A and B are shown apart, each in its own frame.
Chain A
C-alpha cells in the first residue's frame, strides 16, 4: 500500500529551529519532495532527496533515510513568513505519481 505520515500541526517561536518528520510506505521509491504551501496558494518546491543523507539549502535542510522510510525537513532561524503548510511527497516509481502526505501546518509565533 501507499502511506505517508506527517504530524498535523506544529508550533514554534520566531528565531527557533523546527524539524518536521515524514514517514512513508510506497510500492516503489523515486525520490522525496518537500513543498511549502501558504493558505490559498500553490505549493512551491523546497527540496528533493533521492539518496540517503542531508541536503542543505540556506535556512532549510532535508534528510532522507531510505531504509527507514523516513525524512525530515529542518527549518532554522524561523521567520513569521515560514508559517505555512509543509507537504511531504514521494514519487512512487511503480506508478510515476507524486503521492502526498496530508501536510503539516506550522505556526510561527513572535
Chain B
C-alpha cells in the first residue's frame, strides 16, 4: 500500500507486561525505522532495518526491547517487562532508500500507556 500501517493505535499495559507493536511499510520501501516520541516532541531513534536485516540498532535498550522485520510479515517492536517510562508514541517510518534525497514516510503511530 501507499501508507505505513501501524497497529494497534493504542495499547495499555500494566507495568511488567509485554507489549508488541506492528508496522507494515510501504510496498517497495526497503528501509524501516522505529522512533519513540515522548513528551515535548523529542524523537528518539530506536532501530532501523534494511529489508529483514538490522541496519542500525544503536538506539535500542537491548535488555527489554527487540524488533524484527521478517519476509511477508509486518515488522514488529516488542517490549518485554514494560516500565512506566516506556509510555510514549512509537512511530514507524519507511523509506525507499537512504542517502541524499530520501526522506521518511511515517505511520500514524502506536500510543503505548504503561500503568
Contacts and interface: CB of A to CB of B under 8 A. Distances in A.
Contact of A30 (B45, B55, B99, B107): B99
B48 interface: yes
Given A87-B43, A95-B56, 8 more contacts: A31-B101, A41-B108, A42-B108, A44-B106, A50-B101, A97-B48, A99-B45, A102-B41
A48 interface: yes
20 contacts: A41-B108, A42-B4, A42-B91, A42-B108, A48-B103, A50-B100, A50-B101, A87-B41, A87-B43, A91-B100, A91-B102, A91-B103, A93-B99, A96-B55, A97-B45, A98-B33, A98-B103, A98-B104, A99-B45, A105-B41
Given A85-B41, A96-B98, A100-B43, A42 B56 contact: no
B76 interface: no
How many interface residues does chain B have, given as a range?
Answer: 20 to 34
A42 B107 contact: yes
Interface of A: 8, 30-31, 33, 35, 37, 41-45, 48, 50, 85, 87, 89, 91, 93, 95-100, 102-103, 105
A54 B55 CA distance: 33
A33 B100 contact: no
B53 to A, nearest CB: 14
A38 to B, nearest CB: 11
Nearest to B58: A95
A91 to B, nearest CB: 8
Nearest to B45: A97
Contacts of A96: 48, 55-56, 98-99
Contacts of A33: 103
